Amino acid sequence: MSSESSLFSHRWLPALLLAPMILLILLFFYVPVFQAFYWSFFLEQPFGGGSEFVGFENFQRVLGDPEFWAATGRTVVFMLTASSLAVVVPLMLAIAADRKIGMSYPARNILVWPKGIAGASIGVVFAFIFNPFVGLMAPLNALFPGLWNPGIDGTDAFTTLVAAHVWSGIPFNFVILLAGLRSIPPTMYQAAAMDGAGPWRRIFDVQLPLIMPQLFLTFVLEFTESITSVFALIDTITGGGPGGSTSLLVYKIYVDGFRGFDLSGASTQTAILMVFVLLLAACQFYFLGRRINYER
Amino acid sequence: MNKFTLAAVAAVMAGTGSAQATNIEFWYGNTGQVETAIKAQCDAFNASQSEHKVNCVGQGSYEVSMQKAIAAYRAKNHPVLIQFFDAGTLDLMLSDAVEPVQDLMPDVKWDQYIAGARAYYETSKGKLFAQPYNSSTLLFYTNKTELEKAGITETPTTWEGVIEAARKLKAAGHACPFVTDGDTWRVLEQFSARHGLPIATKHNGYDGLDAEYLINTTFAAKHLANLVEWRKEGLVRLAADTKAGNYTAAFNAGECAMMEQSSGSYAAAAKAFDGKYELTVSMAPMYEGYERHNTFVGGASIYVMKGHDKAEIEAAKAFLDFLRKPEQQMFFTANTGYVPVTTDVLDVIAKSDEANSPKYATAKVGVESMNQPATADTRGVRLGFYVQFREVFMEETQKAFAGQQTMQVALDNTKKRGDQLLRRFEQTYKGKQLP
């Protein structure tokens, strides 16, 4: 036996300690997942009055529905723009905070604070900040009437959503990336500087390659997170509008299932979304994960 | 309140007496002033007798209440009474989860309900499924003070008149003459009803689940296209165009001068206007050359859910009886602006010395609006997945307002997507007959 298992003398103790967590995951994740997959093959009446097995008909319908593809398209655009920005912005902040510039110590502290705010609260605040009449853009609107209005213009609404998501993603990614930067031995920079590398050169040739594991982690988490966690923001800022311009897949599923009582349609889309997210994570690990060198 | 309580006590004492109080739950979705009134009614009922106790639970919105009811029903943990809104009527009728009130209480004089309210909630054989509770209808609100400032002395009754007034308001420098949120209920359903236009074939679905939408071919399409043009002209504003960001708030604050809104908003508007502006409410405007028909009843009704024992059903009946009492309906109307929909209550109001009091203003005009001549297409909307259809309509028409597509394309898309919903509903409830 290896040294790790000798920590627990009893064979069943580890299993017992894990049991509550496994039970919770089973109850609140695997059972609903199974239910969703099951319902996606049926036409289910909301009050359970009866259900009919329809095979792959639900999938056929959903995959042939232009609205589904429009929502999927918006989800992908959001995933690419919002999650890239949600890594790049904290990366710039982390690099700045890592350098010994003025205020970098308090900044390292303050930038973590948004982590403590729930998505829905962020949504409420951003809806106010981007309000066309009283918010940040109000002076611009006064100069050019109608320039900014997320309640009418879909692009404005989408931009608001991306901004809110990036802002809410700063603390976690900032902490991870800063930790990565702090762990790089200062001798590396000194050596690079001795060889005549300027600050930019040092960022691209020393810092970025050395924090690849952290960058990879934040990207993987962001990509999958951005698909599902955006729900709270949509619900509080735009409600999916205007004209469905911010109705991402995760929100469409909620509206179809809970507001429209279409359990089968919502389940089918859930099943498809779940497969999509799993494939996405698998691709990232397969194509990117293998290229990352975790050794220093 | 005391007078009501005493009357209620007398009524309940006349029934049977038993020792143990039966507890039942009633789920509702309203908030704000309406919720306060609902709670007051629950308290009054519980104080009026000791046999039954109703526990009124607010769920925050009609939709949330329904979501929870679906989950609770599947877990056999559902309330006895649940309030639900107009658009879910067909979902509940076919759910097999509710007992028609007219079956439970055959002796009640259901014909006292005005035809406009009955038609929405009754079966093809004329049996009432739910007891109308907070009934409303669409009314036309104006800020008389602002209109007079722009030289308009008479409240417009036609769309032509509304637009003429809007032009004058705009010329007088008013930034927001008419405001709407473009909501399906307001701009499509109530518009179609009072102009006698069908929303779907089979008389809006009353004659079968195989109905199809007609909204892109009726005069409603022209009206909606007009709204887009009027918005470009600066006569009509959408909720998102206003500083308030919410059209009712924009009207109540005096930012906008005219709006179409449910009678249920009256109490809040009157309160906000008090001492600042003069408020008028009248029937919603018509296009010239169209005969006026009835508007639909809106708001919500109360359903009795299946799967409860006799004592609980008795308690539910007692509470429903209590809510039907003229005093209770009048109390509710006076405190919310919702409209009483039984003839006995309307008689009591008409004979009382408060007949012309502003607190009953919506009762008079609202009932007048719902009592206009009816056709087979103005009974109501009986279409499946209708809540989802409302979302589709909003989504497509918002694109038209934003200039991404014409209103005609928006309505063609809405029809296409709406018909798909109807076909799926038909398949989901295959073999079921409309009651």
> DSSP letters of chain A?
--TTGGG-SSSSHHHHHHHHHHHHHIIIIIHHHHHHHHHTTEEE-TTSS-EEE-TTHHHHHHHT-HHHHHHHHHHHHHHHHHHHHHHHHHHHHHHHHHS--TTHHHHHHHTTGGGGS-HHHHHHHHHHHT-TTTSTTHHHHHHSTTS--TTT-HHHHHHHHHHHHHHHHHHHHHHHHHHHHHTS-HHHHHHHHHTT--HHHHIIIIIHHHTHHHHHHHHHHHHHHHHHTHHHHHHHHTTT-STTTT--HHHHHHIIIIIS--HHHHHHHHHHHHHHHHHHHHHIIIIIGGG-----
Mean per-residue pLDDT, B344-368: 86
Specify the pTM.
0.87
Give whichever of A197-201, A267-271, B83-87, B427-431 has the largest mean pLDDT. A267-271
User: Cβ contact (<8 Å) for A262 and B385?
Assistant: yes
Mean per-residue pLDDT, A272-284: 89
* Closest chain A CA to residue B94: A49
Q: Is the pLDDT of residue A174 over 80?
A: yes
A264 vs B contacts (CB less than 8 Å): 428
Strands B98-99 and B298-305: antiparallel
In the prediction, which pLDDT does B5 show? 56
Give the torsion through C-alpha atoms of B195, B201, B207, B211, to 10 deg. -140
Mean per-residue pLDDT, B51-68: 91
- Candidates A156, A254, A259, A263, partner chain B, best to mutate (most B CBs within 10 A): A259
pLDDT top residue among A43 and B17: A43
Q: Is the pLDDT of residue A20 over 90?
A: yes
In the prediction, which pLDDT does B17 show? 44
B240 vs A contacts (CB less than 8 Å): 132, 149-152, 242
User: Cβ contact (<8 Å) for B95 and A47?
Assistant: yes
In the prediction, which pLDDT does B356 show? 81
Mean per-residue pLDDT, A186-193: 88
Instruction: Set out the domains of chain A in order of their start, with CATH numbers.
Output: 65-291 (1.10.3720.10)
User: Cβ contact (<8 Å) for A52 and B398?
Assistant: no
H or E element at residue B408? helix B407-428
B73 vs A contacts (CB less than 8 Å): 47-48
Average pLDDT over chain A, rounded to an integer = 86
ipTM over 0.90 threshold: no
Over the stretch B289-321, which tens digit does the pLDDT of each residue have? 999 999 999 889 999 999 999 999 999 999 999
Q: Does domain B2-136+297-351 have CATH number 3.40.190.10?
A: yes
Mean per-residue pLDDT, B142-155: 94
Q: Is the pLDDT of residue B252 over 80?
A: yes
Which pLDDT band holds residue B6 (cuts at 50, 70, 90)? low
B428 vs A contacts (CB less than 8 Å): 43-45, 52, 264
Please, where in chain B does CATH 3.40.190.10 lie?
A: 2-136+297-351, 139-295+385-428
Which pLDDT band holds residue A293 (cuts at 50, 70, 90)? low
User: How many cross-chain Cβ pairs, A to B, lie less than 8 Å apart?
Assistant: 98
Mean per-residue pLDDT, B91-111: 90
Q: Is the pLDDT of residue A238 over 60?
A: yes
B245 vs A contacts (CB less than 8 Å): 131, 133, 151
Interface of B with A in 216-255 (CB under 8 A): 238-241, 243, 245
Over the stretch A64-109, which tens digit does the pLDDT of each residue have? 989 999 999 999 999 999 999 999 999 999 988 888 777 778 888 8
User: Cβ contact (<8 Å) for A152 and B391?
Assistant: no
User: Cβ contact (<8 Å) for B398 and A244?
Assistant: yes
Mean per-residue pLDDT, B343-361: 85
Burial class (CB in 10 A: 0-12, 13-18, 19+), A177: buried
Cα(A209)–Cα(A218) distance, integer angstroms? 15
Distance of CA B271 to the CA centre of its chain: 21
In the prediction, which pLDDT does A136 show? 82
In the prediction, which pLDDT does B4 show? 54
B94 touches chain A (CB under 8 A): yes
Mean per-residue pLDDT, A220-248: 87
User: Cβ contact (<8 Å) for B427 and A131?
Assistant: no
pLDDT top residue among B383 and A141: B383
Single-letter amino acid code for the residue at B245: G
- Candidates A31, A39, A44, A45, partner chain B, best to mutate (most B CBs within 10 A): A45
The proportion of chain B whose per-residue pLDDT surpasses 70, expressed as a percent, equals 95
Q: Any idea which of A135-149, B58-72, B380-394 has the lowest mean pLDDT?
A: A135-149
In the prediction, which pLDDT does B37 show? 93
B404 touches chain A (CB under 8 A): yes
Which pLDDT band holds residue B103 (cuts at 50, 70, 90)? very high
Q: Is the pLDDT of residue B10 over 80?
A: no
Mean per-residue pLDDT, A11-17: 86
Mean per-residue pLDDT, B147-154: 93
B97 vs A contacts (CB less than 8 Å): 47, 49
- The dotted CATH code for B139-295+385-428 is 3.40.190.10
Which pLDDT band holds residue B14 (cuts at 50, 70, 90)? very low
Which pLDDT band holds residue B370 (cuts at 50, 70, 90)? very high
- Candidates A261, A262, A263, A267, partner chain B, best to mutate (most B CBs within 10 A): A261
pLDDT top residue among B20 and A111: A111
* Closest chain A CA to residue B181: A151
The residues with which B54 forms a beta bridge, in sequence order, are B24
A52 vs B contacts (CB less than 8 Å): 427-428, 430
B51 touches chain A (CB under 8 A): no
User: Cβ contact (<8 Å) for B401 and A241?
Assistant: no
- Close Cβ partners of B136 (under 8 Å, ≥ 6 residues apart): B262, B263, B264, B297, B298, B299, B337, B338, B339, B366
